[in-house]
């Protein structure tokens, strides 16, 4: 059976919370479970984490957990009757409120953002509810803002508000995010995604907090603001992975710019060998439908052709009618793209730092040998995951089997392109390691007698960061 190389991330929610639903998602192809901390209590997320771990164990698979921090969400207040209909060219007042639970006076939209009148200018356009309703500022004064509707619609209570990002004064890591991060680290999440990233320093702050907790955790930068695109390379370098967050990108930028930005992000991530996730509305029609649109299928395949390490499902699995069916369909689309003649996953050769020069060079060499001898798989013995990450970045022609005795490492490998994580006990002898790998590959049906595999590992065995050896083995 062919191995899918790009990974699938599924957002969990009411449609996928049950133990049975989680097992179905894993068996359908979910590699990473995303917990959206914009919704739900700590108690609810703790139970989700417990159920994911139990379902993964039941399926005999590794599944990573990605904690997606909420970020500085600006929201409207409440409306009398729960909605407010705004007609084209109608004028409304915008006023700040201390709580999104506050009921707005008639003809007013309350916005939970301190300093609203100070930060807005005449001519600014505010996008309400992801751009379903737009208003343009026509007057500012006396602590209030008067605006005219340029795109009509009906507002619901507490919908999101997009203010011009260059003037938003809220920190990317809010107090709520700090509390959620502490909770996530205590639960042993495998990745942390930071929303509304604007600078590399914000990514480093999250990493510092994780390290201060004694739980270093890879940080995923969600790229969704104009400032992030301006500082793109610095943010990519500061991050362990990046996400093309097309929902907010599509609000901050005109739709025609988003595909170009996506390709720019994926190219830079490949250049610096950072896993890249493409997210938002990839299979949106399947929230209700049993088939994707042709455009959605093409969108998923295009992300694969452009070198994405992972593709992500949001509402499709969180609240859709048939989550497992969506994952199976995405799996089929990705696999078909990868098996086509148009799929050429190019490795990027980049300058090596002194710290990684030997390990990365050896991993690249192992990939070159894998390609030249036509090996069935490349086996990467890894304590920290670094060897497998280097191999993944080099894009070998065969799947990478990441063997590790470290359960945290195995789960983190779930996000890496082409890597199949498998547990192996601690071994202290390289010959014994190769023999054990040989047996595991045969037992899992990954090789047959006469096939060859390439192994890359470090000597002395069991010491992290010592990747320095390659061996080619013919299966007997």
Residues assigned a catalytic role: 34, 75, 222, 280
Two tokens, residue 41: 């209590």
Residue 280 sits at the vertex; the CA angle it makes with 164 and 243, to the nearest 5 degrees, is 75
User: Are the beta carbons of 19 and 55 closer than 8 angstroms?
Assistant: yes
Q: Within its chain, how far is the Cα of 360 from the centroid?
A: 24
3-class state of residue 323 by DSSP: helix
How many CB atoms within 10 Å of residue 62?
25
User: Are the beta carbons of 132 and 100 closer than 8 angstroms?
Assistant: no
Sign of CA dihedral 294, 29, 280, 204: negative
Neighbour-count burial of 269, counting CB atoms closer than 10 A to its CB (0-12 exposed, 13-18 middle, 19+ buried): buried
Decide the pairing of beta strands 452-458 and 133-141. Answer: unpaired
Neighbour-count burial of 331, counting CB atoms closer than 10 A to its CB (0-12 exposed, 13-18 middle, 19+ buried): middle
Q: DSSP for 173-196, please give it.
A: S-HHHHHHHHHHHHHT-SEEEESS
Q: DSSP for 26-47, please give it.
A: HHHT--EEEEETTSS-HHHHHH
Two tokens, residue 442: 């045969």
3-class state of residue 214 by DSSP: coil
User: Are the beta carbons of 401 and 379 closer than 8 angstroms?
Assistant: yes
User: Are the beta carbons of 62 and 410 closer than 8 angstroms?
Assistant: yes
């Amino acid at each position: 059976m062919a191995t899918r190389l790009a990974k699938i991330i599924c957002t969990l929610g009411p449609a996928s919370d049950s133990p049975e639903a989680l097992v179905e998602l894993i068996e359908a192809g979910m590699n990473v479970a995303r917990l959206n901390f914009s919704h739900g209590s700590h108690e609810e997320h703790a139970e989700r984490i417990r159920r994911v771990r139990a379902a993964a164990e039941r399926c005999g698979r590794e599944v990573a957990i990605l904690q997606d921090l909420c970020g500085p969400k600006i929201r409207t207040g409440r409306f009398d009757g729960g909605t407010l209909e705004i007609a084209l060219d109608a004028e409304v007042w915008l006023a700040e409120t201390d709580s999104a639970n506050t009921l707005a006076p008639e003809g007013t939209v309350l916005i939970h953002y301190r300093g609203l009148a100070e930060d807005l200018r005449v001519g600014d356009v505010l996008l309400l509810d992801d751009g379903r309703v737009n208003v343009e500022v026509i007057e500012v004064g006396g602590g209030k803002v008067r605006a005219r509707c340029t795109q009509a619609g009906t507002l619901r209570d507490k919908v999101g508000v997009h203010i011009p990002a260059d003037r938003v004064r809220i920190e990317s890591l809010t107090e709520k995010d700090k509390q959620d991060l502490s909770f996530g680290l205590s639960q042993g999440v495998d990745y942390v995604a930071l929303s509304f990233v604007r600078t590399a320093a914000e990514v480093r702050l999250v990493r510092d907090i994780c390290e201060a907790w004694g739980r270093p955790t890879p940080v995923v930068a969600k790229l969704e603001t104009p400032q992030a695109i301006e500082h793109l390379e610095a943010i990519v370098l500061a991050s362990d992975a990046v996400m093309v967050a097309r929902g907010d990108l599509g609000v901050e930028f005109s739709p025609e710019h988003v595909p170009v930005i996506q390709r720019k992000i994926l190219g830079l991530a490949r250049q610096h060998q950072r896993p890249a996730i493409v997210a938002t509305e990839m299979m949106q029609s399947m929230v209700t439908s049993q088939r994707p649109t042709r455009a959605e299928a093409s969108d998923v395949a295009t992300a694969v052709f452009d070198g994405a390490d992972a593709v992500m499902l949001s509402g499709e699995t969180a609240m859709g009618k048939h989550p497992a069916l969506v994952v199976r369909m995405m799996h089929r689309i990705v696999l078909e793209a990868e098996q086509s003649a148009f799929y050429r996953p190019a490795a990027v050769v980049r300058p090596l730092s002194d710290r990684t020069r030997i390990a990365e060079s050896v991993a690249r060499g192992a990939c070159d040998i894998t390609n030249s001898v036509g090996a069935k798989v490349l086996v990467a013995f890894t304590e920290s995951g670094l060897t497998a990450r280097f191999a993944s970045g080099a894009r070998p022609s065969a799947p990478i089997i990441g063997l590790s005795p470290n359960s945290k490492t195995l789960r983190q490998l779930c996000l890496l392109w082409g890597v199949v994580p498998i547990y192996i006990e601690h071994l202290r002898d390289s010959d014994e390691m190769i023999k054990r790998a040989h047996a595991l590959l045969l037992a899992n049906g990954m090789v047959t007698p006469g096939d060859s595999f390439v192994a890359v590992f470090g000597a002395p065995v069991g010491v992290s960061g010592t990747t320095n050896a390659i061996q080619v083995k013919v299966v007997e």
